[in-house]
Amino acid sequence: MDIIKKLLILLTIMEDRLIKIHRVTKVVKGGRIFSYTSTSICGNNNCFIGFGRGKSKEIIESIKKSYLKARNNIIKLNIKNEKIPHFIYAKHSSTKILMFPAAKIVGLICNSIVKQVLIASGVKSIFSKIHGSTNSINVAICAIKALSMLK
């Protein structure tokens, strides 16, 4: 099963999207040590999406690590006709997301992070609302969790 899944993923063109780069400072006796954490998603605009985080002392290395982890954590979603069939509710940490199906005319009415996740997964019309924390990492994880609950 894993071999078939990896072949399908390799045959499709995956698009990487960087969500956030965060600089982390560690204070030691000799001064400050800076490191970077980057969060990214990858998707093929047709039912496949992955999420990854990378940490490194250099920005480019952390971005490469996050892209690699996103490509290794790909899941398949049950999306038909470029929209969701029913209402979805998901919770991650203190972030709660509500997703409502919408007509094709409406488009994507949602947060910018959720919009990136939905574009990468191939959803064209949706209405969503976030309650609680709007931390970009938690919002992305919550949106992917919600989309994975589709039947």
Residue 114, domain CATH = 3.30.230.10
Task: In whole angstroms, give the CA distance from residue 146 to residue 58.
Answer: 32
Evaluate whether residue 82 is within a structural domain. Answer: no
User: Structural domain tally of the chain?
Assistant: 2
Whether 15 and 56 map to the same domain: the answer is yes
Whether 72 and 92 map to the same domain: the answer is no
User: What percent of the chain lies above the pLDDT cut of 90?
Assistant: 68
Q: Whole domain around residue 139: which residue ranges?
A: 88-148
Task: In whole angstroms, give the CA distance from residue 40 to residue 24.
Answer: 17
85 is written with which tokens? 């069939």
Res. 130: pLDDT tops 70: yes
Evaluate whether residue 81 is within a structural domain. Answer: no
pLDDT in tens, 39-91: 999 998 888 899 999 999 999 999 999 999 998 888 888 888 888 888 999 99
Res. 8: pLDDT tops 70: no
Say which residues have a Cβ less than 8 Å from residue 61's Cβ, sequence separation at least 6. Answer: 54
Give the per-residue pLDDT at 103. 87
Query: Which of 138, 132, 93, 94 shows the shortest CA–CA distance to 113?
Result: 138
- Pick the last residue of a domain from 76, 107, 136: 76
Stated pTM of the model:
0.86
Give the per-residue pLDDT at 36. 97
